[in-house]
């Protein structure tokens, strides 16, 4: 009888170990470039995004932990490109970058994060880079404009990015409000817009920004506890496909 009980506990231990080592599951959306190359976008957490493009791995603002959610970057592919918008802890995580870095990984960021990391391709607002492999990137402004909140993200410090992947244009806004420069952001296929005051936009500001940018697909992100559930219906008449994923 004792042997039988011991066997059962042993099997439970094996089962528990197998469960603990189960692969992480993330929501994924599939797209194609103009020439038919596959682009898979994984919702990691908050402002952390993984993009698979033509057998390459791109990460935006990878962080290991936010609240109770933890991302194990050692269990997913390492990066060919890492983009970081600014130095706040929910966007810049030195250890996550270390875990994702392999020989040949390119790190693209703003001046401050390049200084903190000790290396990186520094981009300021308005800079453009052709990164080869059909990848181009524009660094665009990201900042606060509401009185009393401009200290969170001052003008000219942080980046948003427009990634052009073989003609598929993806706008990652970073931490910003509905700034005037958005009027110049055009021909966007996929947009990531933040919704989390006092640091970024209210739902009303996000709707305004979406109507200015007019992306085909919109992912609200960086929304924390903000209720974004009404955004799909609010923008339906504008022809914008709003997709809510786990970017709390």
Contact 163, 52 (CB under 8 A): no
Let me know if residue 36 belongs to a domain: yes
Adjacent-strand bridge partners of 152 = none
Residue 6 is assigned to a structural domain of this protein: no
Identify the CA nearest to 60 among candidates 80, 39, 82: 82
Residue 165: domain span: 27-242
Q: What is the pTM of this model?
A: 0.91
Number of domains composing the chain: 1
| Domain of residue 39, CATH code | 3.60.15.10
Q: What is the DSSP letter of 185?
A: -
pLDDT score, position 6 = 43
Q: Is 121 helix (H, G, I), strand (E, B) or coil?
A: strand
136 CB-contact burial (10 Å; exposed 0-12 / middle 13-18 / buried 19+): middle
Instruction: Assess if residue 3 is contained within a domain.
Output: no
Predicted pLDDT of residue 197:
85
- DSSP label at residue 59: E
Q: Give the list of residues 6+ apart from residue 247 with CB closer than 8 angstroms, or none.
A: 43, 45, 46, 47, 219, 220, 221, 222, 223
Give strand pairing partners of 241: 217
Report yes or no on 144 lying in a domain.
yes
Other C-beta atoms lying within 10 Å of the C-beta of residue 71: 22
- Does residue 114 lie in a domain region? yes
d(CA 97, CA 105): 10
Could you say which DSSP state residue 189 is in? S
Task: Please count the other Cβ atoms lying within 10 Å of the Cβ belonging to residue 246.
Answer: 12
List, in sequence order, every beta strand (DSSP E) within 126-223: 128-130, 135-142, 158-165, 168-172, 190-194, 217-221
106-109 and 81-83 strand pairing: parallel
Residue 7 lies in a domain: no
pLDDT tens for the chain, 248 residues long, are: 444 444 333 444 433 333 444 568 999 999 999 999 999 999 999 999 999 999 999 999 999 999 889 999 999 999 999 999 999 999 999 999 999 999 999 999 999 999 999 999 999 999 999 999 999 999 999 999 999 999 999 999 999 999 999 999 999 999 999 999 999 999 999 999 999 989 999 999 999 999 999 999 999 999 999 999 999 999 999 999 999 999 99
- Which contacts qualify for 61-65: CB closer than 8 Å, 24 or more apart? 61/85, 61/90, 61/91, 61/92, 61/174, 62/93, 62/96, 62/97, 62/100, 63/89, 63/90, 63/91, 63/92, 63/93, 63/96, 64/93, 64/95, 64/96, 64/99
Tell me if 135 is assigned to some domain.
yes
């Amino acid at each position: 009888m004792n042997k039988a009980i011991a066997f059962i506990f042993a099997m439970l231990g094996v089962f528990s170990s197998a469960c603990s080592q189960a692969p992480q599951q993330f929501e994924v959306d599939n797209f194609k470039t103009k020439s038919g190359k596959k682009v898979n976008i994984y919702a990691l957490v908050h402002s952390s995004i993984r993009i698979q493009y033509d057998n390459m791995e791109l990460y935006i603002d990878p962080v290991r932990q936010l609240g109770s959610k933890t991302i194990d970057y050692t269990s997913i592919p390492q990066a060919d490109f890492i983009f970081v918008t600014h130095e706040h802890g929910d966007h810049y995580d030195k250890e996550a970058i270390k875990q994702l870095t392999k020989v040949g990984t390119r790190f693209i960021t703003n001046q401050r994060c390049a200084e903190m990391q000790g290396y990186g391709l520094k981009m300021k607002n308005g800079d453009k880079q052709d990164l080869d492999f059909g990848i181009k990137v524009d660094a665009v402004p990201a900042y606060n404009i509401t009185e009393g909140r401009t200290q969170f993200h001052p003008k000219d410090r942080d980046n948003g990015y427009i990634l052009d992947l073989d003609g598929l244009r993806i706008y990652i806004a970073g931490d910003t409000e509905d700034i005037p420069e958005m009027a110049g952001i055009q021909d966007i296929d996929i947009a990531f817009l933040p919704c989390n005051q006092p640091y970024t936009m209210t739902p009303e500001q996000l709707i305004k920004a979406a109507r200015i940018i007019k992306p085909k697909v919109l992912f609200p992100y960086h929304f924390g506890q903000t209720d974004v559930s009404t955004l799909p219906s609010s923008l339906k008449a504008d022809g914008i496909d709003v997709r809510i994923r786990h970017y709390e």
